[in-house]
């Protein structure tokens, strides 16, 4: 799939409403890529952002702290049973899987539970839960990383009519996870790292 210039209109998609949640998955090379995207987002971004970064659990709190220094939006570690609010960035812990659930009162909450695989946090689990609760208002993004985690999560987002972006090969430290999604024709856009924040802004406000 050719690169898409994010200054143009978003790629064709089955979604007919702006994104109400953004979920980002990354692995090798991800910390700097995630940081670059989040720093380019406006402080007024009116959607929650969920980040699944493959990383040792004892390093993730430091990762969250470093992100919070350069990002205008509140950045925090995802906490058990926390009610989700807009204009917050939630980073999945490294020793648990993270999913979103709708409680009986209609609140969206975070559920943490023991991981089902050795690769944590599971991007597939996080993305699939975003697809479940946000449906066609989901925006999934896969960045640099080795392997295929995130492929099934992006498939789930596409299945409910959400939108998907993958980082291009030229700006990826490892073109593995993004390539897996692209090979399955599940990406609405293949973008260089520096264009992804602009696409998030566009797809979170366009009707």
Known catalytic residues are: 27, 54, 149
- Contact status, residue 52 vs residue 122, Cβ threshold 8 Å: yes
Q: What is the DSSP string of 106-173?
A: S-EEEEEE--SSSSSS-HHHHHHHHHHHHGGGEEEEE-SBSS-TTHHHHHHHHHTT-EEEEE-TTT-S
CA distances 150 to 70, 178, 187, Å, are 26, 8, 12
- Contact status, residue 131 vs residue 157, Cβ threshold 8 Å: yes
Helix, strand, or coil (residue 32): helix
Return the residue matching tokens 């999945």.
92
Q: Are β-strands 108-113 and 97-102 bridged in parallel, bridged antiparallel, or unpaired?
A: antiparallel
The token pair that represents 18 in the structure block: 């702006």
Q: Which of 41, 73, 44, 24 is nearest to 197 (CA)?
A: 41
Q: Which of 23, 20, 69, 65 is nearest to 45 (CA)?
A: 20
């Amino acid at each position: 799939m050719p690169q898409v210039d994010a200054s143009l209109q978003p790629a064709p998609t089955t979604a007919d409403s702006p994104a109400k949640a953004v979920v980002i998955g990354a692995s090798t090379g991800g910390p700097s890529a995630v940081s670059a995207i989040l720093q380019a987002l406006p402080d007024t971004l009116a959607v929650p952002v969920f980040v699944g970064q493959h990383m040792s659990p004892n390093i993730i709190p430091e990762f969250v702290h470093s992100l919070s220094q350069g990002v205008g939006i509140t950045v925090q570690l995802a906490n058990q049973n926390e009610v989700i609010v807009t204009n917050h960035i939630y980073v999945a812990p490294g020793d648990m899987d993270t999913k979103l659930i709708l409680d009986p009162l209609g609140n969206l909450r975070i559920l943490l539970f023991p991981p089902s695989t050795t690769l944590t946090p599971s991007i597939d689990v996080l993305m699939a839960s975003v697809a479940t609760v946000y449906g066609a208002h989901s925006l999934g993004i896969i960045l640099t990383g080795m392997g295929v985690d995130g492929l099934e999560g992006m498939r789930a987002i596409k299945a409910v009519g959400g939108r998907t972006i993958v980082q291009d090969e030229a700006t990826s430290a490892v073109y593995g996870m993004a390539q897996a999604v692209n090979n399955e024709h599940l990406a609405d856009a293949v973008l260089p790292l520096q264009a992804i924040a602009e696409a998030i802004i566009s797809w979170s406000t366009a009707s």
